[in-house]
A and B are shown apart, each in its own frame.
Chain A
């Protein structure tokens, strides 16, 4: 096992390097001058040049990339003399739009996105797997019909429709959940305000995934129920409840875990639409804004962050799979 993890970690680092090279490459091809964008309203060629030197855009591309890489481990200092400032390691660069080190921006945005993703994940797994099981168990009867309607609505309503619906009706018109003006509050500081802040974004995000998981669970359960070993379980005299909740669920667990791991990784990269609608200053919104403003350092940092989350989750899923499926464990 340790050898397996080491090997995977090695490939993960290679992949991340490749991702950063590609993002860097794409940005250097685009017809923008990052130094000019930092200049502000009263812009003179002299300021542009000064900024170029200050942010390191005057150097050849490979050297810029090298400075970025070494900054991650050593920190990076910009400018010289009285204008000198340092982003300590791990430094993912400096945002000239926000006048902040990117690492500090990440530190603010990441907890929001993680809280959003995990909360939504818990809801969609419970709803999706539960409803899928019900639908499979009562195939062709009314619980199945209800789940079908839910799936249809869930998959066909885009997040910006459900999100806006919740915002306009549940918060503003019906005042069921108060509009959260206080910003992000940790669960430990004030649980009530924490839930008020997150509940609607969670539901908005979860609906889409829950619909997919309902369908997925239903299909996998039905397929498993047709397996020979399920017939064996019945032939032992086991009740339908044990057959479904023990023997069938055990077999369904592995594919659901795989799917869930990758989906949650995708979400930590940022749920752009949900974060924008509910005005959550998370990673997704930060990335979107950075792309608009051509803020290379921020885009680079969030891309690499998202890539590493996906790679890490992949690794975790693979390891988990070893525990879930004995046939994989042995090899």
Chain B
């Protein structure tokens, strides 16, 4: 296996009182070493569920997974969907690490920073206390925390939000994992700190050649760090491509809607934000049609009735660029390119 992560046709469902929720419906993606892959989507689109299942942290009691999530560890690889929990646990923090959205609550408030870091090392290297403590200081230094010796003896509440996210990153990288999952790593931070954290992730990636799976709803973050992008809507992938494909030649109406809704710097105050009309659908018992159709402006361009009755497939435009839409490709090529130009003008 060349890739660090290969997700194939992943489906995540969980039962509720009202029926089955298809939180993730047929997602496929890959992450190669040194590559940053972003999953973009609004709240409830299934991006966090996807990322949690990669590390096996989905709620096992209620969720059902199907498809496969292959994670590579040196010469062997493990399918998270079918592997026993004990096996997955050996991968967590060693092969695949994760950082979370809210650094304020993601660190244990009662343990010292140093011991929380050391613990991450000790889980996979039992008994090597001295090495763990040394590595903890080293990692704190690496993520840009000054006086790491002293700060390792402090508690999380003595750190600012940005510093805590640095600590979380240090903790995730204690065992030099091949793959880092970053679930909205900068959402809870203010913009200047956000830029620093993204830069830090990029620098660390360059040093270790790790793959990053970045979960975000912030297109600015995507543009800044991602190599490839998957856009999710209602548990499905609607478009997949290189960062240039997505930003300069979007081919799914939802991606286009997202890009058009980004506010422009220098726009007149009187100009309203262009929002996508309507609401995201409920994920319970989704109809066998295009999930975006009720909000889509372009259904009239598609073959009559197709948007409301048939689910479009994720079809390749080029080798790397795929999208899901019934509107004929040649119609979208021109129209969407013109729209995106108009929106940026």
Contact = CB atoms under 8 A, between A and B. Distances in A.
A235 interface: yes
Given A231-B57, A250-B111, A327-B155, A236 B123 contact: yes
Given A326-B157, A327-B109, A228 B90 contact: no
B120 A228 contact: no
Interface stretch (B17-25, B98-106, B303-311): B98-106
B114 interface: no
Interface string B96-132: 0110101001111111000000011001100000000
Interface string A222-244: 00000111011111111100000
Contacts of B236: none
A184 B331 CA distance: 96
B344 interface: no
B109 A237 contact: no
Given A326-B157, A330-B158, A237 B123 contact: yes
B92 A236 contact: yes
A236 B100 contact: no
Contact of A235 (B97, B108, B124, B157): B97
Interface in A223-270: 227-229, 231-239, 247, 250-251
A326 B106 contact: no
Nearest to B94: A237
A324 interface: yes
Interface string A316-331: 0000000011110010
A301 B312 CA distance: 84
Most buried by A among B97, B98, B110, B171: B110
A237 B106 contact: no
Interface in A6-53: none
Contacts of A327: 109, 155, 157
Question: Which bracket fits the contact residues of B?
Answer: 20 to 34
Contacts of B98: 235
Contacts of B169: none
B139 interface: no
Nearest to A233: B108
Most buried by B among A236, A324, A325: A236
Interface residues of A, number: 20
B93 interface: yes
A247 B123 contact: no
A231 B97 CA distance: 12
Contacts of A325: 109-110
B122 to A, nearest CB: 9
Nearest to A329: B155
A220 to B, nearest CB: 14
Most buried by B among A228, A237, A325: A237
Most buried by B among A227, A325, A326: A326
Q: Chain A contact residues: over half helix, strand or loop, or mixed?
A: helix
Contacts of B110: 250-251, 324-326
Nearest to A230: B108
B155 A235 contact: no
B109 A236 contact: no
A218 B282 CA distance: 33
A236 B157 contact: no
Interface string A260-282: 00000000000000000000000
Most buried by A among B94, B102, B120: B120
Given A227-B105, A228-B106, A231-B57, A236 B119 contact: yes
A293 to B, nearest CB: 51
A227 B156 CA distance: 15
B105 A251 contact: no
A238 B109 contact: no
Interface string B272-303: 00000000000000000000000000000000
Contacts of A250: 108, 110-111
A238 B100 CA distance: 17
B173 to A, nearest CB: 12
Nearest to B56: A234
A231 B158 contact: no
A214 B111 CA distance: 26
Contacts of A324: 110
B93 A237 contact: yes
Nearest to B174: A236
A132 to B, nearest CB: 19
B233 interface: no
A236 B93 contact: yes
Contacts of B91: 237
B89 interface: yes
A229 B108 contact: yes
A239 B109 CA distance: 20
B134 to A, nearest CB: 18
B237 interface: no
B106 A229 contact: yes
Contacts of A229: 105-109
B40 to A, nearest CB: 22
Interface in B302-339: none
A228 B102 contact: yes
Contact of A326 (B55, B109, B123, B172): B109
14 contacts: A228-B100, A229-B106, A229-B108, A234-B92, A235-B100, A236-B123, A237-B89, A237-B94, A237-B123, A238-B119, A250-B110, A251-B108, A327-B109, A330-B157
Given A229-B105, A234-B92, A325-B109, 20 more contacts: A227-B105, A228-B100, A228-B106, A232-B107, A235-B57, A235-B93, A235-B172, A236-B93, A236-B171, A237-B89, A237-B92, A237-B124, A238-B119, A251-B109, A326-B110, A326-B155, A326-B157, A330-B155, A330-B157, A330-B158
Interface of B: 55, 57, 89-94, 97-98, 100, 102, 105-111, 119-120, 123-124, 155, 157-158, 168, 171-172
Interface of A: 227-229, 231-239, 247, 250-251, 324-327, 330
Those 4 A-B pairs whose CB atoms lie nearest each other, nearest first: A237-B92, A228-B105, A237-B93, A326-B155
